[in-house]
Amino acid sequence: DVKVTQSSRYLVKRTGEKVFLECVQDMDHENMFWYRQDPGLGLRLIYFSYDVKMKEKGDIPEGYSVSREKKERFSLILESASTNQTSMYLCASRPHDKRGRTGELFFGEGSRLTVL
Amino acid sequence: QKEVEQDPGPLSVPEGAIVSLNCTYSNSAFQYFMWYRQYSRKGPELLMYTYSSGNKEDGRFTAQVDKSSKYISLFIRDSQPSDSATYLCAMYKGGKLIFGQGTELSVKP
């Protein structure tokens, strides 16, 4: 089974703090994604990566950055956390479209971040 | 207008009921259609996957796609309390998956 592991399930941070959210997948997937999930808004794509050291902005990248130094690891960084970044953050991965069902994502269990 | 629209509910039904969950979309470029199920405090998991118009069945679940109307549905027969979850439709185009807002379903014993 594919396993996507998010290191922190629950975090509480203060406004202005730097926050790191870590994600590791064990299925050698090329593509990795960070979403945030908010009531009434569904899942919104923050950043994604097609390969090591590559990153692409999603729909709501402002206030976030990412790092992909190794294939299995994709980190989301909040340089200076703000209260409007309180949310559930979901990491996902999938192989290139030739290997498996196109578009199918495998999600981690989520990291619930509260910024005070 | 959002590319994918889904009624967020919440939807509450008695055990054994037939449940109908729906999404509409505006972009005819969507190629693949999925339903994800998300239990409380968990990440979403793929439930159904389809790429053409018509019906696809998997046990008590049926996914229906009508590309001409830009409408997809998920039907759950003989619903169980264990089906209580949030159901998210998702559609794929150009390397990205676009999600609906999710419908929260509660099946009461």
Q: A3 — contact with chain B (CB < 8 Å)?
A: no
- Using one digit for the tens of pLDDT, what is the confidence trace for B44-59? 999 999 988 889 999 9
- Using one digit for the tens of pLDDT, what is the confidence trace for B7-53? 878 999 999 999 999 999 998 889 899 999 999 999 999 999 998 88
Which chain A residue has its CA at the smallest distance from B97's CA? A103
Min mean pLDDT across A84-88, B83-87, B92-96 is at B92-96
The average confidence (pLDDT) of chain B is 93
| Residues linked to residue A106 through DSSP beta bridges, in sequence order | A93
Residue-level pLDDT at A112 = 96
Is there a contact between A42 and B97 if contact means CB atoms under 8 Å apart?
no
Q: A103 — contact with chain B (CB < 8 Å)?
A: yes
Residues, chain B: 109
Q: A24 — contact with chain B (CB < 8 Å)?
A: no
Hey, how many other C-beta atoms are within 10 angstroms of the C-beta on A76? 23
Per the structure block, which two tokens stand in for B45? 């998991």
